[in-house]
Amino acid sequence: MEPPVTPRPAATTVLLRPGAPLEVFLIKRAVTVQFMGGTHVFPGGRLDDGDRQVVTDGRITHPNPAQLAAHMGLPAPEALAFLVAGARELMEEAGVLLGAPAPDVEAMRAQLNAKEPFTAILQRHGVTLDGGSLAYLAHWVTPVIEPRRFTARFFVTQLPRGQQPVIDAHEAVEGAWMTPRDAVAAHLAGTLSLPPPTLCILEGLAAAPSLEHALRGSATPVVTVEPVFVDDAGTPTLAFPGDVLHPEVNGVPGAPTRVELRDGRFVTASRPR
């Protein structure tokens, strides 16, 4: 048996805007994209060495890097690099930049698409990323059965004043603001498709009492969710930590312990220990 593929580091940004109730920005990945093609997700992608260079060059600020590092369980430079990746992917796929001064996002995105280093683009435009605007939310690792695996850190932020998302029309072919509850309902109705991490995070956001509460991210230690694939009495299931069929005892407090594949779509459920 081949050993499992080593997961690549990745970052995803959950973009919120105020409303009654709050709304979240979802993109639809092109069907040609190898990972999660055709699904609705939050903007995100791989962390690369260029993101680490942004940290080295001091083009990102954060009010408390040591606290962030402890929360993420990483050295501070690597924790900041994940923030850079989340901000960069948000700009690439949704046309929103978390930085000051007010950026020329389209020019910067064109330069990124031309493979210019992100740190050089930030320097040219005089932009410093606002790492403090990103709150750490979740950590998911692709199951070992998958040929493409990621260790993805999820962050949450608010749409900056004066900006509006514009999709890149390459990897992302659609973009829309939806309430978390409406997005979950559309998934269950079969009109859009949500991968398990997106589904679980949206269900959590639907239960958030306010935008301010949602923007705090996870106040408790983040549990790494690495699902285990099982066939539970004929139902294809991804069990999470804390589920009766997962080896890890401690799961995410108050969250579902599994997703089950029913009628061609994932549905959350719980069978805790």
Predicted local confidence at residue 184, as pLDDT: 97
Q: Hey, what long-range contacts does 33-38 have (CB within 8 A, 24 or more apart)? A: 33/171, 34/148, 35/148, 35/150, 36/195, 38/193
Rounded Cα gap, residues 216 and 133, in angstroms: 10
Average pLDDT over residues 109-126: 95
Query: Length of the chain, please?
Result: 273
Please say whether the beta carbons of 66 and 60 come within 8 A: no
- Residue 204 has phi, psi (to 5 degrees) of -65, -40
Per-residue pLDDT tens for 217-261? 987 889 999 999 999 999 999 999 999 999 999 999 889 999 999
Rounded Cα gap, residues 11 and 139, in angstroms: 9
Selection from 155, 186, 195 nearest residue 40 by Cα: 195
Average pLDDT over residues 191-215: 94
- Asked if pLDDT for residue 188 goes beyond 80, the answer is yes
Listed in order, the ranges of the chain carrying CATH 3.90.79.10 are 8-214
- Asked if pLDDT for residue 1 goes beyond 70, the answer is no
Fold of 8-214: Nucleoside Triphosphate Pyrophosphohydrolase (3.90.79)
Per-residue pLDDT tens for 35-86? 566 799 999 999 999 999 999 999 999 999 999 999 999 999 999 999 999 9
